[in-house]
Copies of this chain bind each other. A is one copy, B any other.
């Protein structure tokens, strides 16, 4: 089955868009983990329409109920990849889904992996995109920096190029779904805390806090959840800094792919995200109508 619209992200931008696309008669699937920034908001008093402060969790849940009531489908899952086919294929930890149009509403790009000298080796052995750069590391000794399903997904993708892959969790406890547990056996796993990266012109060493070091030829960063930035790199979505570049219709440079909310680098407010979600919906409805 092909959805009309898949919305990646369950925060205000995504749900506002879903409310509109559903009412606009698009078969709409919202995918995301229950980890919107909203949850960190204890008390929201600047979103129009609520006399008294409302908790972030409450707003999140109310918004979901609203979208469900109108007919949207919501899946708790983590998106690890998006591919452009005739439509769009959205790859999650627990399944793959296809849609005619996609909205990126993944929130603010995740915080950088806390590893010293990561920046310094970007483009010199440090990559954020297995799809883009995996090919350059055929039969080489590579690492994936991460501890979640997303990191395992990236590691598995690298297996097309090399079998010498270490998952560096940087001291973080592994947070992997059942689906990926078996795959872990194909990987070497290092749970040591990393002190820094080292090398001459390009990355050569991972140096641990206990003073030990391991040689490496490439390191792929997939720390935490896949962010809009990861999708941008893999799909060639134009960015400005770490944000998805959109025009005033919320269109990215890829036809049929839209973005809204914090991932567009806008004023990071619920009000703005909700407005952008609505604007995006109008274009998405238009897009699907033309495709039908």
Name A46's closest neighbour in chain B (CB-CB).
B19
Give chain A's interface residues, CB within 8 Å of chain B.
Answer: 12, 15-16, 19-20, 23, 45-52, 54, 59, 62-63, 65-66, 69-70, 248, 266-267, 269-279, 282
Max chain B CB contacts within 10 Å: which of A48, A49, A279? Answer: A48
Contacts of A69 in B (CB 8 A): 51-52
CB distance from A244 to the nearest CB of B (A): 15
Name A70's closest neighbour in chain B (CB-CB).
B45
CB distance from A125 to the nearest CB of B (A): 38
Contact A271 B275 (CB under 8 A): yes
Within the assembled complex, what's the spacing in Å between the Cα atoms of A46 and B277?
A: 11
Contacts of A49 in B (CB 8 A): 12, 47, 49-50, 54, 59, 62-63, 66, 274
Contacts of A54 in B (CB 8 A): 49
Contacts of A271 in B (CB 8 A): 16, 274-275, 277-278
CB distance from A262 to the nearest CB of B (A): 13
Contacts of A275 in B (CB 8 A): 269, 271-276
25 contacts between A and B (CB under 8 A): A12-B48, A12-B49, A16-B271, A19-B45, A46-B278, A47-B274, A48-B63, A48-B270, A48-B274, A49-B49, A49-B59, A49-B62, A49-B63, A49-B66, A50-B66, A51-B65, A51-B69, A266-B279, A269-B275, A269-B278, A271-B275, A271-B277, A272-B278, A274-B275, A275-B275
Contacts of A46 in B (CB 8 A): 19-20, 23, 278
Contacts of A45 in B (CB 8 A): 19, 23, 66, 70
Query: With A274-B271, A274-B275 given, is the CB distance from A48 to B65 under 8 Å?
Result: no
